[in-house]
Structure 1
């Protein structure tokens, strides 16, 4: 039987700790409108959510945009998002109870997100969650964001746990792929995309009231290895960003 102390749980932030995809999409849509772009932000995020904002923006413009300019657009989007989400910040149902129970059971707990430190603090410090994580891995800690594996492999190293003993909690299609590229199993939340969009998670939940630490141990016994990344998704152009 799997023992919690031998495993680590790694959580994405957006769409996992908080249900904020609609506000992220609205911020992108306002930015697109200002630049005369007709891209549907919600559908865009269904495919690309989890990637750094600058990489998402690279896929929208039909002409090459200098990196400095993309950074300015990403900062503008971040400001819009914070204004829209300021009074809406709340954790996904059951999160604190699950994290507390998981720590008590013996799991190591890590955060693995594409967000920079100030955005991480905007969420986890406001919600008083920082003390529930053993390690925090963000944009500043890796060279390549999702859909590459770097975020999760770095988190595993910081936690001192081999990838095959890490379980990732993700809400994004590309985030799930990142977990599999890292050799990790995955549990997905259906906060951002429909359940049938995911490849092969151990379980799909709508929030943390639907799972307990003991359930994770039982799922690990049922799913002994991580799936291989989906080749079709991995071959898409944005996977190289």
Structure 2
């Protein structure tokens, strides 16, 4: 049986620690309406969730948009999201109990998100979760966001755990791909997309009431290697953003 102290668990934030995808989509939809765009935000996030907002926005406009302007639109979307989600902030069911038990078992715990520091604070500190994480890796710590592997490889370095001993918790298809590119195994949450959309996770859960640290150790033994990234997904144009 694997020893938990030899492994790390790395958690995405949106859609994993919190079930906020509907509010993210609503914020995008309001922004699109402002710019007379007809894109369906929920369907868009099913494909691109996990990427930085500026990269998501690049795929929506039919004409090139300067980076400075994309940043302004992303900031507008962030403001809309915070207003919509302000009174709804709550952790995923069973999260604190699971994180506390995982730490007690010996796992190192990291956060790996595409969000900037102020957004991390908006969630993590409001919910009083920071003390449960050994390291926090966000947008400010990496050059390239998901679906690139950077977020998770940097998190592994910060945790001083090799990638092959890191288990990622993700809710996004591109986040799962980023984990595999980093050489990590993945457990997925079905908060943003259907379980059938994921490539090859060790397990798909609804929330953290459906899993315990011992289950993770059992799966590490059952799935000894990370899958290779799906070539079709990895070669899509948006993966180059």
TM bin (shorter chain): over 0.9
Whether 1:189 and 2:210 are equivalent positions in the alignment is: no
After superposition, the C-alpha distances for 1:105-153 in whole angstroms (9 at most, x for unaligned) are: 0000000000000000000100000000000000000000000000000
SS at match of 2:61: coil
Q: Specify the alignment match of 2:223 in structure 1.
A: 223
After superposition, the C-alpha distances for 1:174-212 in whole angstroms (9 at most, x for unaligned) are: 000000000000000000000000000000000000000
User: What RMSD, in angstroms, separates the aligned Cα atoms of the two structures?
Assistant: 0.2
> Structure 2, unaligned stretches of length 5 or more?
none
Q: Distance in 2 between matches of 1:69 and 1:23?
A: 23
SS at match of 2:83: helix
After superposition, the C-alpha distances for 1:199-237 in whole angstroms (9 at most, x for unaligned) are: 000000000000000000000000000000000000100
SS at match of 1:109: strand
Alignment of 1:61-72 (within 5 A): 61-72=61-72
Alignment of 1:126-205 (within 5 A): 126-205=126-205
Deviation, structure 1 residue 99: 0.2
SS at match of 1:128: coil
SS at match of 1:101: helix
Q: Specify the alignment match of 1:27 in structure 2.
A: 27
Q: Distance in 1 between matches of 2:199 and 2:190?
A: 13
Q: Distance in 1 between matches of 2:74 and 2:154?
A: 24
Q: Which runs of 4+ in 1 moved over 6 A?
A: none
Residue-pair matches, total:
241
> Structure 1, unaligned stretches of length 5 or more?
none
Q: Distance in 1 between matches of 2:60 and 2:71?
A: 14
Whether 1:6 and 2:6 are equivalent positions in the alignment is: yes
Task: Give TM-score scaled by structure 2 length.
Answer: 1.00
After superposition, the C-alpha distances for 1:58-78 in whole angstroms (9 at most, x for unaligned) are: 000000000000000000000
